[in-house]
Structure 1
């Protein structure tokens, strides 16, 4: 017989089941049949990885799900994850020619339908290319690193991924909430990369367990795709109190099955308004928090979260407090956070990133009672690692030579979030995947002198 605690944990686990239902076979067939299969399809142009969308949809309509899944994954090595987390309304679906006359094709859901079929049927979509005698090391097994490794494996390179975490997959495995992206999806994508001969060494941190010099000795080229690190400090009084959480670690724990009953019936705030902030707030709701607020020092217009994430949070009952900044955290006698002191803000002139700078309004301080605080104000960079390897960077954003994804160190390339920022790149899973592919092509061109094309 289950105890009360076991029953509660089972209920919490159910709260983290995927919320968006899949298309049925009939729904997928009918939706695929609506597609016009445009010859010069704008949806392809709008997809950062250039998936041949009309082609994969037509294969669904003809019940060729293996061909459909392969068409998706050859263009996007993390296409199963992207089917769930891409802002499709801004990308492919936003470009659909049916906008305005009717509803755009549900490209994301059809992409999920095809890749889910491949996952369920344990399909292996690709095999390694003929060995060419050259070797590449990839630092980091997130979307960009996996994508680069998969392409290089198809071209016959011996590839080793060095991954610091227990499992590969990066953001898709640890950083996106389970109820939007279950781990099984990213694990399948990782397995597809292994199937082309890529060796993935987990629990291996470059700079600690293996040096860059060793990598350069053992490989003909190295790709740096380490992403970003933890949430930075708020820089306010009280951050050391119990009950103050890093949003990245908070979400990671829920994805690792570490579900705590400590949040049940509690009041919490999330500081920040990006996608990670939304994830932190909605995770807390699923852990039983009864009152969740997101505090953001700018207005709704400047929020960086995707629109669908924002709507999802509001449906979960998350309250948004715009133009509100934390001043200090207040603790009780036991050292637990019990309140947050805030001040109202107003927007002034635009700052370096083009957003209007928030300025405090005098005498606007107020206090909110809280039981926990989640910090989600961006992520720090692996600057120590970059400096250890003498790689040129601007505040942790790797400096690239031209458009070839090569760093200041010869035969060391870089892609993914580690090159995002300072007006360079975009922070999307699908963009990281495309960068990984393009980096692989640049590595191939540098090592072989031959221009690469997609080999899937």
Structure 2
């Protein structure tokens, strides 16, 4: 069977889990380093040697608790973290053999907890303080779990039908199934957090109402949709927002037949890779990623890039779309691109793409836009200061509005680190601690 035939409609996890013996063999390789560099390299500070040591003694409940105590979305991160750049990249064994497979061991322990329906934590002693959180993605869930352990009454307001945010809707099923995100949501609910879905702040309830009703409010709303390309023909049929496209594959809302179709994805970040590999699994027989710079400037993780190439996705570097062509029925037929060359570095350090004057036409049946995400303009009307859509915060994650904090992708940018699930989780925790210090004068962090 041809590779693409095997991939089509296959949205099962592509990375196989460790067997019991494989996990034991890998765990016993860990040196249990003093002052282990892998812990420092983990944004959430998971005690990695300890959770691995507990696997070797078959204490999988303790192992899962160690992971999830530090990272409330640790089961998801076991699958989507760029571990080769973080914990595994810091492993001392890189200098002699190969790094411990920390991500797969983390998955092994958390999978055990999932399969055995384990509830890992319980709520702390009540403080009689209430906190509202807008958004139930990694940052919102992490802040909620931590606050509940500290004794706060927490309500999450989520605009979608199901909680979990990015992990539920925004990461492809064959890398992160919804059941993993749902388990993490249940862990948060198990400590008394209330999640109110189908509730959009700004429509169903105002931010002012939340300010008046709660002791603190956390904005963990992530980012919005992919912005417009701003080129002619963008209104053609079968031009998709990559975020909505991936979401549709996870909810079953995608009704189009992609078998035998040709498509392009515009952009070269992780979301672009997700869009391209989803299209392949939906039956497209040719998918190209178009990027106006080169491989050296792309923002997708190396493992995502390798994964896409293994799926047969083609990459066309130095291509910038200028026009989408359509037939009399409004159906996409082709895309025209300007060939680019790279000039001097821009403010972000990447070299500027400069048009060469040469135009190429690529015949296509569908187009997926993945050129970043826009921000929420309603924040500017709520006395929450933003800079190019990024919420302005201080060192305690407080916004310019009284009693309102922010964390996660909505503060990504302007020196706030990388937009990773694990980073959002850590920001959620730190926001919880900042609120605890502000409201009760305590900085104590939670413990299992």
Q: How many aligned positions are there?
A: 443
Deviation of residue 423 (structure 1)? 2.8
TM-score (norm 1): 0.96
Match of 1:323 in 2: 318
Distance in 2 (CA, whole Å) between partners of 1:48 and 1:422 is 18
Match of 1:4 in 2: none
Could you tell me whether the CA contact under 8 Å between 1:268 and 1:370 is conserved in 2?
A: yes
> 1:4-23: per-residue Cα shift (whole Å, max 9, x none)?
xxxxxxx9885001110000
Per the alignment, in what secondary structure is the counterpart of residue 210 of structure 2?
A: helix
Counterparts in 2 of 1:49-448, with a 5 A limit?
Answer: 49-260=44-255, 262-362=257-357, 364-384=358-378, 386-401=379-394, 403-448=395-440
Distance in 2 (CA, whole Å) between partners of 1:452 and 1:229 is 34
Distance in 2 (CA, whole Å) between partners of 1:12 and 1:96 is 33
Deviation of residue 132 (structure 1)? 0.9
Could you tell me whether the CA contact under 8 Å between 2:64 and 2:110 is conserved in 1?
A: yes
Output the aligned Cα RMSD. 1.1
Distance in 1 (CA, whole Å) between partners of 2:322 and 2:277 is 24
Per the alignment, in what secondary structure is the counterpart of residue 361 of structure 1?
A: strand
Deviation of residue 257 (structure 1)? 2.3
Could you tell me whether the CA contact under 8 Å between 2:133 and 2:157 is conserved in 1?
A: yes
Could you tell me whether the CA contact under 8 Å between 1:329 and 1:340 is conserved in 2?
A: yes
**Unmatched 5+ stretches in structure 2:** 1-5
Distance in 2 (CA, whole Å) between partners of 1:330 and 1:314 is 27
Match of 2:3 in 1: none
Match of 1:3 in 2: none
Per the alignment, in what secondary structure is the counterpart of residue 240 of structure 2?
A: strand
> 1:93-150: per-residue Cα shift (whole Å, max 9, x none)?
0000000210100000000000000001110000111111100000111000000000
Distance in 2 (CA, whole Å) between partners of 1:272 and 1:304 is 9
Distance in 2 (CA, whole Å) between partners of 1:398 and 1:222 is 14
Distance in 2 (CA, whole Å) between partners of 1:21 and 1:399 is 41
**Unmatched 5+ stretches in structure 1:** 1-10
> 1:393-439: per-residue Cα shift (whole Å, max 9, x none)?
101101112x1100111211110001001232320000000000000
Per the alignment, in what secondary structure is the counterpart of residue 92 of structure 2?
A: coil
Deviation of residue 261 (structure 1)? 5.3
Could you tell me whether the CA contact under 8 Å between 2:150 and 2:446 is conserved in 1?
A: no
Per the alignment, in what secondary structure is the counterpart of residue 425 of structure 1?
A: coil
Query: Once superposed, which parts of structure 1, at least 4 consecutive aligned residues long, lie more than 4 Å away?
Result: 11-14
